[in-house]
């Protein structure tokens, strides 16, 4: 396990040097993303409160807008507890690794034409390669805690990630075929005439479902199940360690929303001429994020066996069938 994790980290280091991606280079993106994560939590709690006919955060700052700052101060001021029987170095490294992976993925996201840190030709491939490495941080955290509950939570989480990543990869194939490129900017520009959520509507629906499962959101939040269990794989973490996991989770939610916007909603492409592309990208991103919160307030949680059966017996066969059909249509008409 330790050797496999070391090899993955080494592979990631080589990729970072090849692509010239560094945290210093990503700093102009990381700071806004951290602020977006902070205020997304307030955005989510406000919407949930409105849907459940209650007030929500309303004490810290105007209309409770500074509640995220208060939560951050509370988390960082707590004592850091490390289990005595844990593997110290991996226990400390796991949340840092998960957080860094979630931040590095943002270097490949274009917010407007030309506004991207690394616009490489294999952008969509490297984006999903980077995001898939995050599961190793979850496995390491559950194993290094030396706790049965955190280890079981990490196993459930990793099984869920792997199960739905297969379907997500299949759903990308028709879009790559139609756009004719792995470059993320080219995929967005290929939607100039019509957005892919219209031409690939079944793929759009299946991708939304897999995105909910990949980000551990309701109704697929089985690894955490905060109303039933304590927290899952990060049950032994507190203070800064829990903060890193929390930031990585919500950063991945915003990242997955950005990927949906890029693949199906035309990215920065406008509905009408007159405003900047980044404005349209932000509006579409907010709509997808609102969908994530709306689903949380509406649907109940699946049982774990139902979750896995849905992934392997429903989502995967449908993804494979739609993918083969779209490949046949592309070969026949293009």
For residue 216, with 0-12 CB atoms within 10 Å meaning exposed, 13-18 middle and 19 or more buried, which class applies? buried
Residue 119's domain comprises 2-333
pLDDT in tens, 7-38: 455 555 555 554 444 555 667 788 888 889 88
The predicted model scores a pTM of: 0.89
Q: How many CB atoms lie under 10 A from the CB of residue 296?
A: 17
Number of domains in the chain: 1
pLDDT in tens, 142-168: 899 888 888 888 888 888 888 898 899
Contacts (Cβ under 8 Å, ≥6 apart) of 71 = 41
CB < 8 Å & 24+ apart, contacts of 62-71 = 65/39, 67/41, 67/42, 68/38, 68/39, 68/41, 68/42, 69/38, 71/41
Q: Is 211 helix (H, G, I), strand (E, B) or coil?
A: helix
Give dist(CA 72, CA 325) in Å, integer.
48
Residues in a beta bridge with 112: 115
- Lookup: tokens for 219: 């109704």
Give dist(CA 125, CA 169) in Å, integer.
9
Q: How many CB atoms lie under 10 A from the CB of residue 64?
A: 18
Give dist(CA 240, CA 237) in Å, integer.
8
Give dist(CA 65, CA 58) in Å, integer.
8
pLDDT averaged over every residue in the chain? 84
pLDDT in tens, 245-291: 888 989 999 999 999 999 999 888 887 666 677 888 999 999 999 99
């Amino acid at each position: 396990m330790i050797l496999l994790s070391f090899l993955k980290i080494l592979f990631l280091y080589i990729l970072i040097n090849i692509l010239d991606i560094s945290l210093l280079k990503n700093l102009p993106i990381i700071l806004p993303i951290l602020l977006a994560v902070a205020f997304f939590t307030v955005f989510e709690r406000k919407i949930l409160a409105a849907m459940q006919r209650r007030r929500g955060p309303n004490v810290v700052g105007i209309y409770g807008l500074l509640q995220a700052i208060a939560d951050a101060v509370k988390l960082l001021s707590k004592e850091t507890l490390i289990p005595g029987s844990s593997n110290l170095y991996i226990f400390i490294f796991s949340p840092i690794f998960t957080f860094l992976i979630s931040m590095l993925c943002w270097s490949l996201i274009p917010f407007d034409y030309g506004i991207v840190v690394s616009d490489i030709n294999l952008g969509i491939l490297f984006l999903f390669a980077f995001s898939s490495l995050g599961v190793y941080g979850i496995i390491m955290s559950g194993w290094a805690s030396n706790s049965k509950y955190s280890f079981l939570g990490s196993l459930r989480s990793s099984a869920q990630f792997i199960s739905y990543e297969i379907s997500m990869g299949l759903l990308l194939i028709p879009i790559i075929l139609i756009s004719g490129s792995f470059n993320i900017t080219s995929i967005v520009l290929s939607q100039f005439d019509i957005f892919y959520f219209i031409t690939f509507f079944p793929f759009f629906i299946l991708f939304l479902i897999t995105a909910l499962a990949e980000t551990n959101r309701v109704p697929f939040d089985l690894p955490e199940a905060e109303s039933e269990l304590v927290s899952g794989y990060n049950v032994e973490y507190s203070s800064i360690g829990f903060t890193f996991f929390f930031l990585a989770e919500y950063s991945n939610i915003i990242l997955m929303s950005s990927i949906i916007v890029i693949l199906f909603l035309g990215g920065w492409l406008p509905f009408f001429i007159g405003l900047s592309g980044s404005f349209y990208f932000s509006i579409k991103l907010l709509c997808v994020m609102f969908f994530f919160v709306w689903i949380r307030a509406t649907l109940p949680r699946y049982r774990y066996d139902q979750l896995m059966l849905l992934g392997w017996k429903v989502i995967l066969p449908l993804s494979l069938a739609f993918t083969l059909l779209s490949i046949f249509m592309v070969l026949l008409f293009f």
